[in-house]
Structure 1
């Protein structure tokens, strides 16, 4: 298949937000130039195969995969290994995510991301710094020794303009509204999380420009009758996006359904919060000098807390369909169009439409990934 000029024929495809049958996509220079329902008169036609064609998945929170943790391998090679592990499960774009760490590791990560962006590294569209400006009370497995206030050293990293899309997770009781305004002014997308903030503090952060919530329900102040906390404020806010980890461990199915009903599929992003074992048979790994152990589909830190996940994006979509009973089209949109909108990349990613990059997946009846195209090229 020549991505510079070819036709891809699909039995059924999700075009925009609607299913269409007998679809022919004209791919030119890696983008979709035309969509038809009759075979083209000229040009080579490549059958996609049996299954349904959907847009590639976009993951905004990927800590590791392929045996690699970004914190331990903040390098271009480490990033490549992480992406390769997730690509087999349908991820065509991602933000490598650095968990709370030292300024030096943040700087090394920034250099690696900048190199990836400069060289158009497949699948890498930016970076997510999850921390270090978080609440001690809701730190989860984030290292307490690295939690700190926002200083000029971190701000210099966040100010860089060569990192693609920049996402930062902060606690609004640690980072002030004035600082959030400054970050947004630098082109940063600010997410709120790992926080014990009151609803008033969360609302002030949203007013200052914060636009997302990191792994809704997990690591944040809960919804109660008299204090909505971060969870309640996130559910009530119409304009922000929320990440949701659908691995069957982080969020109860009823809580997941509530979030999707409250915010709509347009504002819910399926995320993995994935750790090194994804794509491997690895049963444990080192994290902050301790051992995280895999128990089936769950990762447990020595404290007993969940330590990220072994979830992949195809697995998240399957959970949404099979457990939450959502239509496949809606599950796919939460894994593609919604994160693309949050990242400001809807003009070129997130759906199969004319003018967009030909990042595509072929799913079988069990919603496993059978085929994968990145900018029109089959990806192995």
Structure 2
């Protein structure tokens, strides 16, 4: 099977085709009759709490499977299931419940956004569940997970945080810095300990100041860090998104949705981590204090937002697929349109709306 269009590859857009043989890409070639469709690698979302009225945050397998299916229809062929700050028992039960979804490829793993976060910068995280990092908890979860846990967000200024980051890095789990009130120096200490991701940079952290650059500048400027960016025009102004992408380069920026179950659903009342959320005009906010509570974003919409903000297709594709795949250690499987990789791709119309999604060589 050959899929024709303008093929977005690392560093170039090539009029041609992607030839698929079973679940893998057989070849990518040039053609004079490619047509106007734009072909990009399947999107890779590092940070998503749910969508389509279904959530990842409660540890229910059927809910998680439905949330993943919703985002797959929007082009996300690889994703992490993100939980919010929770009691240990929920973290444990979700780890066990989601193992089958990882083993069958529905999700690529679990991301724990918390509970080891700053109470000052907790945002929409439930303050009742916040606590200092626990090596005992992390060790027990990793032992249970069978490599299901792929990322944990930690505030590096907390007692025991640097040891936790070292422990995660030593066990093949990406340590992310986020929901933090850390200074510039404390953030760099977290990077030195082995952190490799900045959780939704700019959000859940103090703003940069020229005399106290804080986490924002430390993360944007650290070569080891991939910075997550929520490209919905709400979490980040388009100018900030463009600035951040230029500051890091596409190899260190990852588009994420940070979506909650309200993605793809009507405005109304929802729930996140045991807290009431109201969605109005696609903006999700905590009912109790108005804090932004995740997003209603999908990765195809994030891709369009990034291009609309002035990023070219090659850059946006790297941020939506190639770079996040590398964060997960999956560059040899997904994230680009290259021979030998899994046949995951999205066919976009010229206005960047999704026409078709291919995952493992099968049309969704």
With the shorter chain as reference, the TM-score category is over 0.9
Tell me what 1:219 maps to: 204
Q: 2:139 aligns with which of 155, 160, 175?
A: 155
Q: How has the CA–CA distance of structure 1 residues 278 and 49 changed in structure 2, closer, same or farther, with 3 Å as cutoff?
A: farther
Name which of structure 1's ranges 172-181 and 78-87 shifts more when overlaid on structure 2.
172-181
Structure 1 counterpart SS, 2:78: strand
Indicate yes or no: 2:23 matched with 1:21: no
Q: 1:132 aligns with which of 95, 115, 139?
A: 115
Q: 1:285 aligns with which of 261, 264, 270?
A: 270
Structure 2 counterpart SS, 1:32: strand
Cα distance in 1 between the residues matched to 2:125 and 2:30: 51
> 1:38: Cα distance to partner?
6.2
Cα distance in 2 between the residues matched to 1:89 and 1:9: 18
Q: How has the CA–CA distance of structure 1 residues 133 and 37 changed in structure 2, closer, same or farther, with 3 Å as cutoff?
A: same
Is contact 2:175–2:195 with CA below 8 Å preserved after alignment?
yes
Cα distance in 2 between the residues matched to 1:288 and 1:361: 32
> 1:165: Cα distance to partner?
5.5
Tell me what 1:59 maps to: 45
* Per-residue deviation, residues 247-269 of structure 1 (Å, max 9, x unmatched): 11111222212211111011110
Cα distance in 1 between the residues matched to 2:69 and 2:301: 16
Is contact 2:267–2:280 with CA below 8 Å preserved after alignment?
no
> 1:288: Cα distance to partner?
4.3
Cα distance in 2 between the residues matched to 1:227 and 1:15: 39
Cα distance in 2 between the residues matched to 1:169 and 1:275: 17
Structure 1 counterpart SS, 2:227: strand
TM-score normalised by the chain length of structure 2: 0.94
Is contact 1:286–1:292 with CA below 8 Å preserved after alignment?
yes
Structure 2 counterpart SS, 1:248: coil
Residues matched between the structures, number? 361
**Matching of residues 5-16 of structure 1 within 5 Å:** 7-16=1-10
Is contact 2:74–2:299 with CA below 8 Å preserved after alignment?
yes
Is contact 1:125–1:165 with CA below 8 Å preserved after alignment?
no
Q: How has the CA–CA distance of structure 1 residues 48 and 167 changed in structure 2, closer, same or farther, with 3 Å as cutoff?
A: farther
TM-score normalised by the chain length of structure 1: 0.90
* Per-residue deviation, residues 51-106 of structure 1 (Å, max 9, x unmatched): 1111010000010112122223x122111111111112111110000000011110
Structure 2 counterpart SS, 1:183: helix
Tell me what 1:200 maps to: 185
Tell me what 1:336 maps to: 321
Cα distance in 1 between the residues matched to 2:11 and 2:114: 34
User: What RMSD in Å do the two structures reach over aligned CA positions?
Assistant: 1.9
Indicate yes or no: 2:347 matched with 1:362: yes
Tell me what 1:191 maps to: 176
> 1:158: Cα distance to partner?
3.2
Cα distance in 2 between the residues matched to 1:100 and 1:161: 18
Structure 1 counterpart SS, 2:47: strand
Tell me what 1:71 maps to: 57
Cα distance in 2 between the residues matched to 1:235 and 1:16: 22
> 1:161: Cα distance to partner?
5.0
> 1:26: Cα distance to partner?
3.0
> 1:327: Cα distance to partner?
1.1
Is contact 2:16–2:31 with CA below 8 Å preserved after alignment?
yes
> 1:307: Cα distance to partner?
0.6
Cα distance in 2 between the residues matched to 1:11 and 1:172: 45
Structure 2 unaligned spans of 5+: none
